[in-house]
Chain A
Amino acid sequence: MSLKKHILDLRKRKEQVQKGGGDKAIEKQAAMGKMTARERVLALVDKDSFTEYDLFVEHTARDFGMDKKQLHGDGVIIGTGTIYGAPICIFAQDFTVAGGSLGLMHARKITKIMDHALKMRVPLLGINDSGGARIQEGVNSLAGYGEIFYRNTLASGVIPQLSVILGPCAGGAVYSPALTDFVFVVENISKMFITGPGVIESVLGEKISMEDLGGARVHAEITGNAHFFADTEADCFEQIKKLVTFIPWNNSKKAKAFPPKPSKYKGKIEDLIPSDPKTPYDVRDVIKAIVDDSDFFEIQELWAANIVIGFGRLNGETVGFVANQPMVLAGVLDCDSSDKAARFIRYCDAFNIPIVTLEDMPGYLPGVDQEHAGVIRHGAKVLYAYSEATVPKVTVILRKAYGGGYIAMNSRHLGADFMFAWPMAEIAVMGPEGAANIIFKKEIDEAEDKDAMRALKVEEYKEKFANPYVAAAKGYIDSVIEPNETRELLLHAIEVSANKDDHRPAKKHGIPPF
């Protein structure tokens, strides 16, 4: 063959394999409202940046007539590309090829790109769209999953790992996304569960639709398994691209700095907050008033909304925000919000992202269900995560910090580098009413007009303790600040802690209250 012929032959082979499961299967995929794996990869990465590996890999199964079947690329596309110029390793399961089922070679391709990502210290992105284990390949298929989970764990905290659920992801397959840092789901397309509706009905007699059991909304709102929810695949890809701009390539780097921009909010920041600690407001408005360009990228917006987490920039640098949300459940900490905050704090710490905590916190959610669900061990995760974190940690107490919540929300006592409080902040062991009822019980009980006495004592307590100055007098608060100074002081805090060098005792690893 002449060189020219060889090249033409290669092109022909490529063209054939790139069709995946063929025209019919592609039509079916489109009928389900889904893009093909190849379309997805190309939509995500910068134009002409995708380089595919292992295009010509074939499966090795010999049983059940599999030896007569050809599965192009064995149902998964792997390769490298860039997103806004930043390198990324990608795998995308191809549902048009044997339902994206995972066999030995399919798994080998995935682990190959994972090893590559870890070695090159670049982020890994996995697009999941698979019917599950390839039954014909038996234990080889299970081995494949295990080897993926193992690598997810090794890479955890070293390179960012993103999982996109764009189809079914059921049974053991769910655990790879669950081990990664961020999970993206899309309405009507994503389906995640351990046991499907069929099994649940036959074993337990419970009837439920796939969507109600493990649809996108369920994971974004109820389970907390998903971090980002989108209406369409295109929206989902925009979220992924945006997230990538906020995070570093690996744990030895900082996130790329952007040109500094002022906040778009031109009003007075204190106008965003009612002074009565019982009246709610949306703490996201405060974050937007502080961050560059008022651009706040929220994570897990729909789940455990009583705490807000996400990324913003201060003077162009990525910062992770953790904020109590008085608008939802009065901003209490409970099992879910503790899990949400703790994991995010650990993410920021692993990837050198400073943490800013905005505190407005009435305490922990009371209730039998909370206690029995283990609010003790869930709440402990927040303490653990803040104490363990060595990135710059700044707290601003906005309105109230009561009791255990004061300690948990990155207090000085857990190693905060900067503690600011607004002048209306109430820092106390509990709200004035409760405290007065206990401290002045005798006086109130003995008074003729108990209510008048109680009101008097509440006022007395408020004046004495429900302010930031008692804590400031002990140095627990570094500075009581005017709300309008908040952004400037945060910029300063981040700037002066740029070279923070803090260490923890050497250990193999801690034992966080998982």
Chain B
Amino acid sequence: MSTKKTEGLVDFAILSMKYKTKLTKKFENRTQYEAPNPDHIMSYIPGTIVEMFVKEGQEVKEGESLLILEAMKMRNQIAMPRDGKVKSIKVVEGDRIPKNHLMVEIE
């Protein structure tokens, strides 16, 4: 019992104080925050890439369709957020991708 109660104690900082405590699984598995990169077109819902309209190196105008991401029986059009160029394409038609997956890199 006594070993159980002191097992897994770590330093844990809240404001300027450092406490000895245990962590929860949920806390340990939390995802680290990353600032969104405006050049990365990410999937906002898990789904399937059903059509790809652009090629690497292609110039694309704001609002033009890059690809169709099908999810929950809906064909979601992924549009170019601003005028630019397709730098690289990270998915191919038929790919099943999770949420927050990098699909296209633009510049």
Contacts and interface: CB of A to CB of B under 8 A. Distances in A.
Of the four ranges (under 10, 10 to 19, 20 to 34, 35 or more), the interface on chain A belongs to: 35 or more
A368 B72 contact: no
A330 B20 CA distance: 7
Contacts, number: 84
Contacts of A204: 46-47, 71, 96, 98
B46 A326 contact: no
Contacts of A365: 14
Contact of A280 (B17, B20, B96): B20
Interface of B: 5, 9, 12, 14-27, 30-31, 33, 46-48, 71-72, 96-98
Interface string A279-322: 11010000000000000000000001110000000000000000
Interface stretch (A20-28, A106-114, A126-134, A427-435): A427-435
Interface of A: 203-206, 221-222, 277-280, 282, 304-306, 326-332, 336, 362-363, 365-369, 372, 402, 430-431, 433-434, 437
B17 A431 contact: yes
A327 B30 contact: no
Given A205-B46, A330-B12, A367-B30, A433 B17 contact: yes
Given A282-B5, A362-B19, A433-B16, A205 B24 contact: no
Contacts of B26: 222, 336
B20 A278 contact: yes
A306 B15 CA distance: 17
A212 to B, nearest CB: 13
B17 A362 contact: yes
B24 A306 contact: yes
A434 B30 contact: no
A278 B15 CA distance: 13
Contact of A430 (B12, B15, B46, B97): B15
A363 B25 contact: no
> Which 10 A/B pairs are nearest by Cβ-Cβ distance?
A205-B96, A434-B16, A368-B33, A330-B19, A433-B16, A431-B17, A204-B46, A330-B21, A362-B14, A434-B15
A491 B65 CA distance: 70
A222 B27 CA distance: 11
A412 B13 CA distance: 28
Given A204-B96, A331-B21, A366-B15, 20 more contacts: A203-B71, A204-B46, A204-B71, A205-B96, A277-B19, A280-B19, A280-B20, A306-B24, A327-B21, A328-B21, A328-B23, A329-B12, A329-B22, A329-B27, A362-B14, A366-B14, A369-B31, A372-B33, A430-B15, A431-B17
